[in-house]
């Protein structure tokens, strides 16, 4: 099968990588291997990535790594014997012999220098077998969608059942190309036809597919299988590996599901993990970034002090520094036991003493149910007293809360919760049913009916113990899990308390997810309005007023969408409801900057309230804060040249720097506080996240500046130290004259009469983009077929924009992200504009 | 500089000749009919080797703008003017020790009908071009660039949709048709299109004549770098000329089909009049073509001096004074 004179022309392959290597195997027979080799002339000591494919693929799978080897590394990707373009075999070859074969090959290639193994599918156990036999030269292991053990809780994959059904196996794997073709059919979006053909190229007939069938038969997951002991030795042996490990995972794999990933993490607890949420089984195809991510990981190994410093779930210690998150709750229960601590609209309320006792009882119940220190507990409970009790009970039990937002939608929420791998789920009945449907792992516990327990947890979580996993909005791709440690939550509480001058005399109504839970931790009475805090825009003015009345609230926290609806429904308020709103002293809107005019209207509804809008994100909140008066002052300062939204000064504890963009939109990691420099906003704060969860590559990119979080937002600091936000990094326009940010242009265009909303986007190639404004006009519905704006409107936009505009188009509504329904999806706008401006129709 | 300019009776050629004279260059012009310009003049056909040799000998640079520009007509006329003419100019340059040739081409040589958005000057694509004009110019540009070498530096300039006051080709036809109520927008009218105000094109040609030598062997698209939707361009042209803007939209598919039929009918009947639509025109008017001007501006050390807005204003002024 070895192609004479190189490989046939296949996409992505350089024929010069292809080489044949004769190797004498354990039986004394010389077998010819086919190998893709990035540097066949390399000396024996050159560090090498040894890439092992699975079944029924071949080394073609690794072409992106061979094409772009990590700096200083050689990439060697053999076709296993009987597969790809390596020699065909007469007999099945077992795992033991294949591990031996791989060793014979590396000996023949004289790979005596450092080696990192990289493997996919059934190449995993073979590569790990090689790794255990070559520890002296092993520098790391990389695994993608593979398994070394059949976990007890995993359904036996169909392929393994196929191993036992000989006739069917022959039909599927050997006599027909069904299996060979099916392996490349799982990707969404589908792989290019030419790539699928390349994967099938070495397997044109039954004889060439002999080993594909034998390989399936050879999977030794069954204890009765003759090779079972070898696999057991490998799967047990890797627990002793002390080299760095990287797991790259495609969660949409129908063969190797989450249980296999859990099993691998259990065996390699120090492994770095990156989940490519959109990827399926053929990870190197579905996530082409894997090659660059491996290169980054290897580059970092040089600077890594000790192998694997990241404990996945920091332990809990008995001697905690600083008070626990529930200290304020205990203090209030001692000092004012009979005052209201938490209230629900419509009656239910607990005093501080009652809350303390409910939490303690629930914590004991959780411990009795098996919740342990370091566990993760997912919460599928709507905002309520019950949710508050659960959160503090989980913390007292030493565990971490996992909270996903229903606003993500069921599928994204399921993906998010699965990615966090909770050990337990607490939910109301519908929540638990949803958890089952979403295949979220973990023991299911019914909220409000937790088992009774008698062991009261007494240990305090360490400041470095994990407190929470929350999720980003998913406005730009799958929601990302964000991990907070106890000290970071505590720092966040301190920042909020200081920024808004909160004292025990305050009472909070919180219609914004994280703050809805913080009342007890702040030692401040709280009420949750009668609304779904995860559904933006469902909070009515009446519901807010009732919640305020329930505890005579002095402070209101709500999302911009909620506040917009409060404003819209204010006419229905009764006299009494209006009266209770008048007593509120502080209104804070969070989530996205709130337009000035909305804040101003809300000020008439809550006349005593100082209106604040902070800037921040799931990863660090809050970063800056500004009042309505501050916004007005900034508008005056910036008159004529305002180029974004002023979000105020950084709060104490938040260090805001800018990484300036160059003329072609690139960053150079040179953080500055220089006024006027426009670039990515970077934030260092004690109350920021610890890391992204299960997203090694994302975390690496976001924290490339030690101590700072790259926000992905573009902005600048002004002379007064105020931060101006100008858009998202991926929405900047790179024109021939340099970088243009969209928000300032949009604000100027939106100020025009007849324009309801506007988006500024770039069309064309990076560095030569033209600026296009898409407006939603007031009144008349623009024609879908003729999107060019009337000349009069176009001319006023040209005049107002303050930048050269190529085209002014009209849309009936701008696409927005699903969750906040407030952030313009400029990428979708740009795609639409590009299509329209390409012409025809 | 001693300069030979071919095609001084065309709109771009004439403006360039006037600019060269204003700058005090030693100008010779070559075309079939007297130009009325106050300079040395050789009358003749660019495809006639004798005429080109006489005109080119001893020049510092030749600016070759002469071409047959039309949407109808037999291939052999295009081939003679555009292909043979270019060959003859190159031969004359080589024979007359002229060190530099600025060959005026067109972006149509690389426009196969699909949208061009922010691209540079892609290689001339003879097979992909539509119509005799674009095809003959594509062949001519390849011949010109192949002639680039040690003895002769060749620079191909592709000014895109040159317009301005007194231009009968583009502005004249559009305004005339609009005046008769026969102007329609093809397709949605959103196709983003680059144009070049004539003064900027002239500046770019002069800049090319200056740098040709150190800069050579490539094609550069020249435009204002201010693309606009085609509907907006048409409306602003009409407004500048004081005529009503097009109100009708013709679907692209209908225009393309009509163009196909008319192309065939004109070919069969050997008609020479300007047809209402051709396939080439339908594509040109309904498909984006705008260009990355960074390399052009860097190599020529040139930037457009007249903005689109200023250009429309000057056009309006020219119609006001001529009325």
Q: Sorting pLDDT into bands at 50, 70 and 90, what band is B82?
A: very high
Domain ranges of chain B: 2-167+196-226+292-306
CB burial readout A5-20, b (16+ within 10 A) else e: eebeebeebeeebbbe
- Domain with residues A15-151+227-303, CATH architecture: 3-Layer(aba) Sandwich (3.40)
Question: Is A429:A444 a contact under the CB 8 Å cutoff?
Answer: no
Interchain CB distance below 8 Å, B290 and A767 = no
3-state secondary structure of B257: helix
B window 64-123, beta carbon within 8 A of A: 115, 117-119
**Parallel, antiparallel, or unpaired for β A376-380 and A424-427?**
parallel
Report yes or no: A837 at the B interface, CB cutoff 8 Å.
Answer: yes
> Mutation test of the interface with chain A: which of B229, B236, B309, choosing the one with the most A Cβ atoms within 10 A?
B229
Distance from CA of B294 to the nearest CA of A (A): 7
Nearest residue to A325 via CA among A427, A399, A383: A399
Q: Which helix (H) or strand (E) holds A298?
A: helix A290-303
Tens digits of per-residue pLDDT, B15-72?
999 999 999 999 999 999 999 999 999 999 999 999 999 999 999 999 999 999 887 8
- Structure tokens belonging to residue A71: 């700096």
Distance CA B137, CA B82 (A): 6
pLDDT at B182: 81
The verdict on A785 touching B (C-beta cutoff 8 Å) is: yes
Contact A683, A708 (CB under 8 A): yes
Helices (H) then strands (E): counts for chain A: 29, 33
Report the top-level CATH class of A327-489: alpha beta
Q: Do B191 and A764 touch (CB under 8 A)?
A: no
Report yes or no: B112 and B129 within 8 Å, Cβ to Cβ: yes
**By CA distance, what is A791's nearest residue in B?**
B232
All residues of chain B having their beta carbon less than 8 Å from the beta carbon of residue A839 are 115, 187-188, 190-192, 230, 252, 286-288
Q: Which of A794, A806, A840 shows the shortest C-beta gap to B227?
A: A806
Note the CATH number of domain A728-838.
Answer: 3.30.300.30
Q: What pLDDT is stored for residue A408 in this prediction?
A: 79
Q: What is the 3-state secondary structure (H, E, C) of A525-542?
A: EEEECCCCCCCCCCCCHH
With CB atoms and an 8 Å threshold, state whether B118 touches A764: yes
Any B CB within 8 A of A790 CB: no
Highest mean pLDDT among A821-825, B93-97, B242-246: B93-97
CATH code of the domain made up of A495-649+684-707? 3.40.50.980
Identify the pLDDT of residue A345.
Answer: 81
Contact assignment for B292 to A736 by CB distance below 8 Å: yes
Q: Å from A763 to nearest chain B CA?
A: 8
Question: Hey, are the CB atoms on A807 and B249 less than 8 Å from each other?
Answer: no
CB of A505 within 8 Å of a chain B CB? The answer is: no
Cβ burial A569-585 (10 Å sphere, 16+ → b, else e)? ebeebeeebeebbeebe
Residues in Cβ contact with A362 at an 8 Å cutoff, skipping those fewer than 6 apart: A389, A390, A393, A450
Give chain B positions within 8 Å (CB) of A806: 192, 226-228, 290
pTM, full prediction: 0.84
Check CB contact of B191 with chain A, cutoff 8 Å: yes
- Whether B156 and B145 have beta carbons less than 8 Å apart is answered as yes
Interface test with B, best of A782, A810, A840 (most B CBs within 10 A): A840
Torsion A705-A708-A714-A719 (CA) sign: negative
- Reported as a single tens digit per residue, the pLDDT across B270-292 is 777 777 777 777 777 888 999 99
Q: Are A825 and A480 in contact (CB under 8 A)?
A: no
Question: Start-end ranges of CATH 3.40.50.1820 in chain A?
Answer: 15-151+227-303
For residue B304, the chain A residues in CB contact (below 8 A) are none
Cβ contact A764–B286 (<8 Å): no
What local confidence, expressed as pLDDT, does residue B17 receive? 96
pLDDT digits (tens, 9 = 90+) for A3-32: 544 577 899 999 889 999 999 998 899 999
Residue range(s) of every CATH 3.40.50.980 domain in chain A: 327-489, 495-649+684-707
Flag whether residue A306 sits within 8 Å of chain B, measured between CB atoms.
no
Shortest Cα distance, chain A CAs vs residue B87, angstroms: 35
ipTM over 0.95: no
Q: Residue A319: what pLDDT? A: 43
- Gap from B212 CA to chain A (nearest CA, Å): 24
**Cβ pair A688, A488 in contact under 8 A:** yes
User: Which of B212, B204, B235 minimizes the C-alpha distance to B302?
Assistant: B204
Residue A622 preceded by cis peptide, ω within 30: yes
* CB contact B232 to A (< 8 Å): yes
- CA A824 – CA A775 distance, rounded (Å): 12
Chain A residue numbers with beta carbons less than 8 Å from the beta carbon of B189 are 786, 788
- Residues in Cβ contact with A102 at an 8 Å cutoff, skipping those fewer than 6 apart: A50, A52, A78, A126, A127, A129, A130
Q: Is A792 on the interface with B (CB under 8 A)?
A: no
| Nearest residue of chain B to residue A738 (CA atoms) | B294
Question: Which segments of chain A have a pLDDT < 70?
Answer: 1-6, 157-160, 163, 305-321, 475-476, 513, 532-536, 591-593, 636-642, 817-822
E-strand stretches of chain B: 2-6, 26-31, 40-43, 61-64, 100-104, 116-119, 153-159, 162-163, 184-186, 192-193, 196-197, 218-222, 228-229, 248-250, 289-291
In the prediction, which pLDDT does A310 show?
47
Q: Inter-chain contact A764–B292, Cβ cutoff 8 Å?
A: yes
A838·B189 Cβ contact <8 A: no
Q: Name the nearest CA neighbour of A759 among A831, A825, A839.
A: A825
DSSP characters over A431-466? HHHHHHHTT--SEEEETT-PPP------PPPPTTSE
Q: Please identify every residue of B annotated as catalytic.
A: 133
Tally of CA atoms within 13 A in the half-sphere of A589 that contains its CB: 30
Helix (H, G, I), strand (E, B) or coil at A285: helix
How many CB pairs below 8 Å do chains A and B form together? 98
Query: What whole-number distance in Å separates Cα of residue B246 and Cα of residue B252?
Result: 15
State how far the Cα of A540 lies from the Cα of A532, in Å rounded to an integer: 11
CB contact under 8 A, B189 and A770: no
Q: What is the CATH number of domain B2-167+196-226+292-306?
A: 3.40.50.720
Shortest Cα–Cα distance, B311 to chain A (Å):
15
- Compute φ and ψ for A737, nearest 5 degrees: -95, 5
In this structure, what token pair is assigned to residue A255? 């063969």
């Amino acid at each position: 099968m070895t192609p004479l004179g190189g490989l046939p022309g296949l996409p992505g392959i350089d024929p010069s990588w292809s080489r044949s290597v004769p190797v004498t195997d354990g039986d004394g027979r010389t077998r010819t291997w086919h190998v893709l080799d990035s540097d066949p002339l390399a000396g024996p000591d050159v560090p090498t990535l040894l890439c092992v494919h699975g079944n029924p693929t071949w080394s073609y799978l690794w072409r992106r790594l061979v094409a772009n080897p990590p700096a200083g590394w050689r990439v060697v990707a053999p076709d296993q014997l009987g597969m790809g373009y390596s020699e065909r075999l007469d007999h099945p070859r077992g795992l033991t012999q294949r591990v031996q074969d791989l060793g014979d090959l590396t000996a023949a290639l004289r790979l005596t220098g450092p080696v990192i193994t990289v493997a996919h599918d059934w190449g995993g156990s073979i590569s790990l077998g090689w790794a255990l036999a070559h520890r002296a030269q092993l520098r790391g292991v990389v695994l993608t969608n593979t398994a070394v053990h059949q976990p007890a809780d995993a359904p036996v994959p169909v392929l393994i059942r196929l191993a036992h059904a000989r006739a069917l196996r022959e039909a599927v794997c050997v006599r027909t190309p069904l299996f060979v073709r099916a392996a490349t059919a799982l990707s969404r979006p589908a792989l290019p036809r030419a790539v699928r053909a390349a994967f099938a190229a070495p397997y044109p007939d039954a004889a060439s597919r002999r080993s594909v069938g034998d390989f399936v038969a050879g999977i030794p997951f069954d204890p009765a299988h003759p090779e079972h002991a070898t696999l057991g030795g490998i799967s047990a042996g890797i627990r002793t590996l002390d080299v760095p490990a990287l797991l790259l995972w495609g969660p949409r794999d129908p063969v190797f599901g989450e249980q296999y990933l859990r099993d691998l993490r259990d065996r390699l607890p120090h492994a770095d993990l990156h989940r490519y949420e959109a990827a399926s089984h053929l990870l190197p195809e579905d996530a082409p970034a894997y090659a660059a991510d491996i290169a980054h990981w290897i580059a970092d190994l040089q600077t890594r002090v000790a192998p694997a410093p990241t404990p996945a779930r920091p332990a809990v210690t008995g001697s905690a520094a600083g008070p626990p998150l529930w200290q304020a709750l205990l203090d209030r229960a001692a000092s004012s036991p009979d005052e209201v601590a938490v209230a629900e609209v419509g009656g239910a309320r607990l005093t501080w003493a009652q809350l303390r006792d409910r939490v303690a009882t629930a914590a004991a119940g959780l411990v009795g149910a098996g919740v342990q220190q370091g566990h993760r507990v997912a919460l599928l409970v709507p905002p309520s007293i019950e949710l508050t009790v659960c959160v503090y009970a989980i913390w007292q039990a030493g565990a971490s809360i996992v909270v996903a937002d229903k606003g993500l939608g069921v599928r994204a929420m399921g993906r998010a919760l699965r990615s966090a791998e909770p050990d337990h789920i607490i939910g109301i009945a519908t929540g638990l049913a949803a958890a089952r449907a979403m295949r979220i792992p973990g023991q299911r516990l019914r909220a409000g009916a937790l088992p009774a327990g008698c062991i009261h947890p007494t240990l305090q979580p360490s400041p470095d113990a994990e407190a929470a996993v929350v999720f980003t909005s998913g406005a730009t791709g799958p929601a990302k899990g964000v991990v907070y440690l106890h000290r970071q939550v505590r720092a966040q509480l301190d920042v909020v308390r200081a920024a808004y001058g909160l004292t025990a005399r305050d009472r909070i109504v919180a219609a914004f997810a994280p703050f809805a839970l913080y009342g007890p931790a702040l030692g401040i009475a709280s009420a949750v309005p009668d609304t779904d805090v995860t559904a933006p825009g469902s909070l009515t003015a009446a519901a807010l007023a009732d919640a305020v009345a329930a505890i005579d609230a002095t402070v209101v926290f709500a999302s911009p969408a909620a506040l917009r609806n409060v404003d819209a429904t204010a006419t229905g308020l009764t006299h009494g409801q209006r009266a209770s709103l008048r007593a509120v002293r502080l209104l804070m809107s969070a989530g996205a900057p709130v337009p000035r005019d909305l804040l101003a209207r809300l000020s008439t509804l809550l006349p005593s309230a100082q209106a604040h809008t902070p800037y921040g994100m799931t990863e660090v909140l809050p970063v800056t804060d500004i009042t309505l008066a501050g916004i007005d002052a900034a508008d005056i300062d910036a008159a004529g040249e305002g180029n974004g939204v002023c979000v105020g000064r950084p709060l104490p504890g938040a260090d805001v720097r800018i990484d300036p963009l160059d003329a072609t939109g690139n960053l150079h990691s040179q953080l500055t506080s220089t006024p006027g420099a426009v670039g990515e906003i970077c934030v260092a704060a004690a109350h920021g996240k610890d890391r992204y969860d299960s997203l090694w590559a994302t975390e690496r990119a976001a924290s490339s500046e030690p101590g700072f979080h790259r926000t992905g937002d573009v902005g600048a600091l002004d002379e007064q130290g105020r931060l101006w936000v100008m858009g998202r990094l991926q929405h900047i326009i790179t024109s021939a004259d340099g970088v243009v940010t969209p928000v300032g242009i949009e604000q100027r265009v939106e100020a025009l009469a007849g324009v309801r909303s506007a988006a500024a986007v770039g069309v064309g190639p990076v560095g030569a983009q033209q600026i296009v404004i898409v407006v939603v006009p007031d009144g008349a519905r623009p024609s879908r077929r003729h999107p060019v704006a009337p000349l009069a409107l176009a001319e006023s936009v040209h005049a107002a924009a303050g930048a050269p505009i190529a085209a002014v188009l009209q849309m009936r509504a701008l696409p927005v992200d699903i969750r906040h329904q407030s952030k313009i999806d400029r990428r979708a706008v740009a795609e639409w504009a590009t299509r329209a401006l390409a012409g025809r129709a | 500089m001693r300069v030979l300019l071919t095609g001084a009776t065309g709109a771009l050629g004439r403006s360039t000749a006037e600019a060269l004279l204003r700058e005090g260059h030693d100008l010779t012009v070559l075309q079939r009919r007297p130009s009325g310009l106050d300079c040395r003049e050789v009358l003749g056909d660019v495809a006639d080797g004798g005429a080109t040799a006489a005109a080119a000998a001893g020049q510092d640079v030749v600016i070759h703008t002469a071409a047959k520009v039309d949407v109808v007509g037999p291939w052999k006329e295009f081939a003679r003017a555009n292909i043979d003419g270019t060959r003859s100019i190159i031969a004359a340059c080589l024979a007359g020790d002229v060190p530099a040739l600025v060959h005026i081409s067109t972006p149509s040589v690389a426009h196969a009908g699909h949208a061009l958005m922010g691209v540079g000057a892609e290689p001339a694509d003879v097979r992909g071009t539509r119509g005799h004009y674009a095809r003959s110019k594509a062949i001519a540009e390849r011949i010109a660039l192949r002639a680039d070498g040690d003895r002769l530096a060749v620079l191909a300039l592709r000014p895109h949709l040159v317009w301005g006051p007194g231009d009968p080709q583009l502005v004249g036809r559009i305004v005339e048709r609009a005046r008769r109520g026969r102007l329609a927008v093809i397709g949605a009218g959103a196709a983003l299109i680059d144009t070049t105000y004539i003064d900027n094109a002239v500046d770019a040609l002069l800049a090319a004549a200056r740098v040709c030598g150190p800069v050579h062997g490539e094609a550069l698209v020249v435009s204002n770098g201010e693309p606009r939707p085609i509907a907006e361009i048409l409306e602003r042209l009409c407004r500048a000329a004081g005529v009503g803007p097009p109100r009708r939209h013709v679907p692209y598919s209908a225009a393309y089909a009509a163009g196909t039929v008319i192309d065939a009918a004109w070919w069969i009947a050997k008609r020479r009049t300007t047809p209402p639509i051709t396939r080439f025109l339908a594509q040109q008017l309904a498909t984006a073509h705008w260009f990355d001007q960074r390399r052009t501006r860097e190599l020529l050390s040139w930037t457009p001096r007249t903005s689109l807005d200023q250009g429309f204003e000057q056009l309006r002024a020219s119609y006001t004074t001529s009325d």
